[in-house]
Chains A and B, each alone.
Chain A
Amino acid sequence: MRAVVRVAIAAAVLLAIYGLRLGVEAAFTEYVQRIVLLAGINVILAVGLNLINGTTGQFSIGHAGFMAVGAYGAAYVGVKLAGPLHGTLGSGAVTDAVIFNVALLAGALFAGISGLIVGMPSLRLRGDYLAVVTLGFGEIIRILFNNATFLGSATGYFGDDPSGLPSYTNFFWVFAWVVIIVVAIHNLTFSQTGRSLTAIREDEIAAEAMATPTTRLKVTAFAISAATAGIAGGLFAHMQAGVRPEDFRFEKSIDMIVMIIVGGLGSISGAILGGIFVAVSLELMRDLQQYRLVLYALLLIVIMIVRPQGMLGTRELHHLLRRKKPATPAVPAERA
């Protein structure tokens, strides 16, 4: 019975997104639609990054690297899949949907595997090593894509077609994936595994003493987080004609960190708000390009000094609205 209800809810949500898509495409200019799509992609990035940086208390500052892996992976798989699938299934909306989603999942898989490779050595140790290793990884991956001739080197990958990558990404797919990822990460965060992740954040030694397999959980959470960044990368890649290495510079990682810190480290709804905030503020600051990062940097420092827990702290919006006590413990007290 519950399964039936769940399927019904899922179908209703997808229908609602489809309806919204028609509404958005009719009501807004392409310019606004693009910002809406970017906001959706940001939400995926922020919610995914929050799992590792917020919930687990580790710190990745190179998530743009995983996004790049997902973007290139999805673009490449999509292009290589299009030929054979168009041959067997015929060309149409359904085939395109199949190609797109398989490509996205492939991108997520590549990103997840690179997350495992990066996470396994660095997560055995204390969290701040992860910061350095991910920073290095983000740089290396860009050097690799810059030199990978089969992926177009520095010019970027535009597929085999002269018009560039097919623009599969639209409102429906972006927000369908937003819902899937937000629900999945929410369920994970409030599951037993999620509690263990929070325990690692609060006190790793105590968690280990309670027989929590800390390293395994940290690496798993990191790989999941990398895979979600991969999905976002795939969606991003199919929003424009191609993927270029310079789309995934260090600034992109900083954008992601600003998203989760503004909203509140450890809060899913905070990450959603932060993702939207960054998408909108990037547009508003378009004319201030060269001051943008100075302002972001100051914002980071000031938030850390004045309100390190961000807007929501570790609380969730719906807990606040229901006036319920937070399900996860609040920010830890001062520790020596």
Chain B
Amino acid sequence: MTQLLQQIINGLSLGSIYALIALGYTMVYGILKLINFAHGEVFMVGAYTGFYAASALGVAGFEARNQAFPLYLALLVLVIAMAAAAVLGVAIEFFAYRPVRSAPRLTPLITAIGVSLFLQNAGMLLFSPNPQRYPAILSEVRFELFGVIVTNIKLTIFAVALCLMLALHFFVQKSWTGRAMRALSFNIDAAKLMGIDTNRVIRATFAIGSALAAAGGILFGLDQITINPLMGVLTGLKAFVAAVLGGIGSIPGAVVGGLLIGLAEQLTAGYLSPEYRDAITFVILILILLLKPEGLLGIVRVEKV
């Protein structure tokens, strides 16, 4: 029982990271019908930006003096990484996706694969292919709750993810830009006719999705201790599966899907074999495509000519 609870806690914290990344996939897919393969790499760049920002802010000094990294500096690291990723996301959209936006569907997809590959390999050249230990921008505190070990890091991951998701929810539901995003995902041509500057809204979508992925990257670094330039490949894929599981294009769906994928992964690792923790995601993907291709919270849309 305690083991199960332990796995659930680990699963939920991992799952909330997947959910943060999945939001970016689902928002872009909802509007452009494009699988943004480069999203996993934006997540990676976010993690590395956090890594370098923390180093620049002197995290090593605090560690050497055995002091905790101040909270306001940790938040600053988060903000810097989110801003950098937002800029990267907007740049990718501008340079790679916008020129091919009206081309047949395969063209943007191949472009996205190209961007993803480019960032992976540029990352290996710039950041070195070796895994790096993530700086302790939060020093770990363990405590026991009903026999289950909980760390402040797991709780922070959950709390940060929750805050960001709530902020996104209010943004999409209440703000003008959020409403424009929903209009675009409903019908991009009609939105254009209503005077919405679609380029601006798409830019905002990429910026927000990328910033969320960067937050996920920092949380991932805290959770998994090491980062490497290829970390975005598998994590990005899992987050995409999470988006499909929840119903691609649906924001609550991405959150539900992310948490479920995280849980499934931890439970597989705990009860079956750690070797299959990566495989379970794809089993879920194939099952959902067979049984309920529109996803758990997705809407069935009739294909139109």
Contacts and interface: CB of A to CB of B under 8 A. Distances in A.
Contacts of A308: 100, 103-104, 107
A225 to B, nearest CB: 15
B115 A133 contact: no
A140 interface: yes
A133 B35 CA distance: 12
Interface in A257-292: 257, 261, 265, 290-291
Contact of B114 (A139, A298, A335): A298
B275 A300 contact: no
A116 to B, nearest CB: 13
* Most chain B CB neighbours (cut-off 10 Å) among A124, A133, A139, A301: A301
Interface residues of B, number: 45
A132 interface: yes
A57 interface: yes
Nearest to A335: B104
Contacts of A59: 106, 109-110
A131 B109 contact: yes
Nearest to B291: A121
Contact of A331 (B104, B124, B281): B104
A182 B304 CA distance: 36
B100 A136 contact: no
B285 A136 contact: yes
Interface in B63-121: 96, 99-100, 102-111, 113-118, 120-121
B282 A133 contact: yes
A14 B249 CA distance: 54
Interface stretch (B138-146, B155-163, B217-225, B232-240): B232-240
A250 B37 CA distance: 14
Contacts of A304: 100, 103, 107-108, 110-111, 114
Contacts of B111: 300-301, 304-305
A57 B117 contact: no
B282 A137 contact: yes
Contact of A301 (B96, B104, B105, B121): B96
B277 to A, nearest CB: 10
Nearest to A292: B121
Interface residues of A, number: 46
B289 interface: yes
A136 B237 contact: yes
B189 interface: yes
Interface string B271-295: 0000100110110011001100100
A332 interface: yes
Contacts of A61: 113
B1 interface: no
B289 A122 contact: yes
Contacts of A334: 102-104
B125 A206 contact: no
Interface string A138-155: 011001000100000000
Contacts of A261: 110
A293 to B, nearest CB: 4
* Most chain A CB neighbours (cut-off 10 Å) among B107, B124, B278: B107
B35 A132 contact: yes
Nearest to A202: B104
A205 B303 CA distance: 8
A39 B122 CA distance: 28
A265 B110 CA distance: 11
Given A57-B106, A125-B293, A336-B189, A143 B286 contact: no
Given A133-B285, A143-B275, A305-B111, A127 B118 contact: no
22 contacts: A57-B106, A59-B109, A61-B113, A125-B289, A125-B293, A128-B105, A129-B244, A131-B35, A132-B244, A133-B289, A136-B241, A257-B113, A265-B106, A293-B121, A297-B115, A297-B117, A300-B117, A301-B115, A305-B96, A305-B99, A308-B103, A334-B104
Pairs of residues from A and B, 4 with the lowest C-beta to C-beta distance, nearest first: A300-B114, A297-B118, A297-B117, A136-B282
Interface of A: 53, 57, 59, 61, 121-122, 124-125, 127-129, 131-133, 135-137, 139-140, 143, 147, 205-206, 250, 254, 257, 261, 265, 290-291, 293-294, 296-301, 304-305, 308, 331-332, 334-336
Given A122-B286, A305-B99, 18 more contacts: A59-B110, A127-B106, A136-B281, A140-B282, A290-B125, A291-B121, A293-B117, A293-B120, A294-B118, A294-B125, A297-B117, A299-B114, A300-B111, A300-B113, A304-B100, A308-B100, A308-B104, A332-B104
Interface of B: 35, 96, 99-100, 102-111, 113-118, 120-122, 124-125, 189, 233-234, 237, 240-241, 244, 275, 278-279, 281-282, 285-286, 289-290, 293, 303-305
